[in-house]
């Protein structure tokens, strides 16, 4: 009887421990599912931010082409203006609230002494988020007090109308500077990778080149290289033209627009063709910035890997992509890629009205992009004769017979 009681007790303890660990697994699965939902929403906002400017440009061209079409009456300036406001609102909400909450939610375990569960994690994450919000508001208030002393004291309680746009202006400036550094690096990276398929490839590209068909090797890769070169040259020329406009025309400065009058005039001097080129360049710059971001040594650790990406890395990727994409409209307008003015709160950034900041930004982008392009092209040209000479030297050395020991003596 005693042995049976002991075995029954052990069985009950093992059952309780299994139930405890099973409840922990269910709780972690629920937390991860909620965090992934928030990440999915953030990525959706990032995609909308990327599509915001191209949709606005194409909508204007459609209304110019079909000015009296009955089926295009739903497409108007108020709709586009509303889309810009929604993207701005959800970008703020994702950066300031949702992504920090998702991180704190996944890392929290509940306060000490409280009952374990999902709600305990929610309470801890909300408290940490409030503390972080107070810290950020305090830092923004100190920064605004140093820059605008009287305005900061008068608007201490005006959180929504002043501090959130001021904070997002700083985030946008950070995103635009990140685009300035990542885009030329991404362009150089795409040129180097594409060029590796044209010249004698390196070892790691041998298998990829071997799997390619003759059409891809002889036609696809050269056309891809020419397309990259053409898009980059057009982008540099547009930035140089924008620099000249900044020197002689005040309207070239990026500014906000409250009432978009769509369908009156094209935003490109070349009409619909120029607008299509603008859309292509906007997508090209976004792809280049993403490639440069993940190729940078500072952010290589964030690169997602199949079946080997934890939730913290996923949240970091969502935040990074949202910062890059939300700064894309300001980035494109500052460089003069398009003349479509910024709508809503996107045009309220303080630094957009500074001529010296905008002028230096254009000059730095043109200089960095040109330097990256020239360096990549010249290195690819110099590498092929060097590799050919090295192979010839190896073949010559291998053809020299090795003397026998008796001959050497």
DSSP string, 269-321: TTHHHHHHHHHHHHHHHHHHHHHHHHHSTTTGGG---TT---HHHHHHHHHHH
Residues 285/58, Cβ–Cβ less than 8 Å: no
H-state helical runs in 148-252: 149-154, 164-198, 206-211, 214-215, 221-248
Residue-wise pLDDT for 209-225, tens only, equals 556 666 666 677 778 88
Question: Can you tell me which residue has the tokens 């204007």?
Answer: 60
Please answer whether residues 85 and 329 qualify as being in contact, where contact means their C-beta atoms are separated by less than 8 angstroms.
no
User: Please, which pLDDT band fits residue 307 given cuts at 50, 70 and 90?
Assistant: confident
Cα 382–chain centre separation: 33
pTM of the model: 0.79
Highest mean pLDDT among 47-51, 138-142, 200-204: 47-51
* Pick from 18-22, 88-92, 115-119: least confident: 18-22
Token output for 208: 């990829």
Q: What is the pLDDT of residues 65-83, one digit of tens each?
A: 888 777 787 888 788 888 8
Q: Is the pLDDT score of 39 beyond 50?
A: yes
Res. 18: pLDDT tops 70:
no
Beta bridge partners of 256: 342
Q: What angle do the packed helices 271-295 and 2-65 form, to 10 degrees?
A: 150
Q: What is the pLDDT of residue 351?
A: 67
The mean predicted confidence, pLDDT, of the chain is 76
Q: Is the pLDDT of residue 15 over 70?
A: no
d(CA 287, CA 324): 10
Q: What is the pLDDT of residues 149-193, one digit of tens each?
A: 555 555 555 555 666 666 667 777 888 889 888 988 888 888 887
| Helix or strand holding residue 110 (H, E) | none
Q: Is the model's pLDDT at 392 over the cut of 60?
A: no
**Pairwise pLDDT comparison (368 vs 18), residue with the higher score:** 368
Residue 313 clears pLDDT 50, i.e. is over it? yes
pLDDT band at 281 (very low <50, low <70, confident <90, very high): very high
C-alpha distances out from residue 92 to 34, 100, 348, Å? 19, 12, 14
CA 287/CA 77 separation, integer angstroms: 28
pLDDT in tens, 319-372: 999 999 988 888 888 888 887 777 766 766 666 777 888 889 889 998 888 887
């Amino acid at each position: 009887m005693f042995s049976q009681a002991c075995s029954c007790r052990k069985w009950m303890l093992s059952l309780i421990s299994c139930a405890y660990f099973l409840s922990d697994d269910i709780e972690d699965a629920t937390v991860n599912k909620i965090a992934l939902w928030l990440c999915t929403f953030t990525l959706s906002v990032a995609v909308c931010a990327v599509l915001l400017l191209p949709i606005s440009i194409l909508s204007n061209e459609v209304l110019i082409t079909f000015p009296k079409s009955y089926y295009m009456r739903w497409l108007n300036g108020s709709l586009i203006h509303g889309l810009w406001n929604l993207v701005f609102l959800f970008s703020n909400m994702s950066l300031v609230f949702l992504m920090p909450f998702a991180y704190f939610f996944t890392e929290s375990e509940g306060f000490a002494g409280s009952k374990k569960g999902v709600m305990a994690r929610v309470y801890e994450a909300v408290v940490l988020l409030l503390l972080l919000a107070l810290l950020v508001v305090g830092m923004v208030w100190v920064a605004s007090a140093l820059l605008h002393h009287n305005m900061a004291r008068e608007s201490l309680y005006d959180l929504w109308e002043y501090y959130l746009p001021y904070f997002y202006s700083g985030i946008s400036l950070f995103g635009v500077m990140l685009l300035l550094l990542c885009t030329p690096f991404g362009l150089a990276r795409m040129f180097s990778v594409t060029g590796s398929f044209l010249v004698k490839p390196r070892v790691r590209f041998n298998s990829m080149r071997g799997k390619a068909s003759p059409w891809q090797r002889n036609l696809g890769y050269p056309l891809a290289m020419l397309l990259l070169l053409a898009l980059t040259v057009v982008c540099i020329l547009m930035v140089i033209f924008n620099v000249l406009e900044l020197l002689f025309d005040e309207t070239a400065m990026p500014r906000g627009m409250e009432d978009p009058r769509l369908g009156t005039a094209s935003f490109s001097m070349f009409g619909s063709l120029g607008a299509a080129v603008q859309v292509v360049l906007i997508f090209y710059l976004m792809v280049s910035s993403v490639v440069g971001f993940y190729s940078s040594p500072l952010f290589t650790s964030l690169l997602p890997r199949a079946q080997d990406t934890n939730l913290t890395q996923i949240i970091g990727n969502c935040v990074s992509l949202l910062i890059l994409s939300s700064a894309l409209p300001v980035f494109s307008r500052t460089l003069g890629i398009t003349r479509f003015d910024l709508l809503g709160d996107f045009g309220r950034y303080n630094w957009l009205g500074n001529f010296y900041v905008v002028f230096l930004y254009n000059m730095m982008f043109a200089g960095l992009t040109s330097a990256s392009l020239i360096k990549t092209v010249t290195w690819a040209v110099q590498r092929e004769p060097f590799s050919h000479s090295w192979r010839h030297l190896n073949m010559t050395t291998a053809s020299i017979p090795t003397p026998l020991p008796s001959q050497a003596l």
